[in-house]
Structure 1
Amino acid sequence: MNQQEFSNLSFEELKKKQTSIKTITWMLTIVLIGSLGFFIYISIQDGFTPLLAVPFALSAILPINFKNLKKLKTEIELKKIKI
């Protein structure tokens, strides 16, 4: 993803970006929890499956997204004060 400096974006663009990142992050969280549960169920039924590692590997994306959301929130508050 080509990431711009948040300070160069307008207030409306920041709000749009925050909404999209928040939506995508929570959808990814729900999918990872669901797939983890599904793979645990499959492992109980058929024995260990290496697919169990996939949700753990992809969960490394979540802290990065939450960190970006925090930066966006502070930048939005700074822009709100300036307006």
Structure 2
Amino acid sequence: MNKEALAKLSTQELVNKYTMAKTIVWLFSIILILALLFLIYVSIQDGLTPLLAVPLALSAIIPLNVKHMNAFKKELDSRL
């Protein structure tokens, strides 16, 4: 989100979006870690599988979400 779009949101909307982004980042991180551990276990049992690349490739989404979360937090801090 750009700075102008964040400035138009109310404080309550920003708090809701920040909380939602934080929850999504944590849940997505936990799911990716569990998927990676499961696929490592499967690889040990059955041999190397190309599915190991899926959690690693999807982990690139986490920094983008953290960036948005930080933008929400920065806007909230500037208002308070």
Normalising by structure 2, we get a TM-score of 0.93
Question: Equivalent residue for 2:41?
Answer: 41
- Aligned sequence identity (%): 50
**Equivalents in 1 of 2:7, 2:65: separation in Å?**
18
**Residue identity opposite 1:35 in structure 2:** A
Q: Distance in 2 between matches of 1:54 and 1:7?
A: 36
> For 2:48, what is the secondary structure of its paired residue?
coil
How far the C-alpha of 1:8 sits from its partner, in A, is: 1.0
How many angstroms apart in 2 are the aligned matches of 1:78 and 1:69? Answer: 14
Q: Following TM superposition, by how much is the alpha carbon of 1:21 offset from its aligned partner in structure 2, in angstroms? A: 0.7
Supply the distance in 2 between the matched residues of 1:35 and 1:7 (Cα, whole angstroms): 37
With a CA cutoff of 8 Å and minimum separation of 6, indicate the structure with the bigger relative contact order.
2
- Counterparts in 2 of 1:1-83, with a 5 A limit? 3=1, 5-80=5-80
Question: TM-score, normalised on structure 1?
Answer: 0.89
Q: Which segments of 5 or more consecutive residues in structure 1 lack a partner in the other structure?
A: none
Give the unaligned 5+ runs of structure 2: none
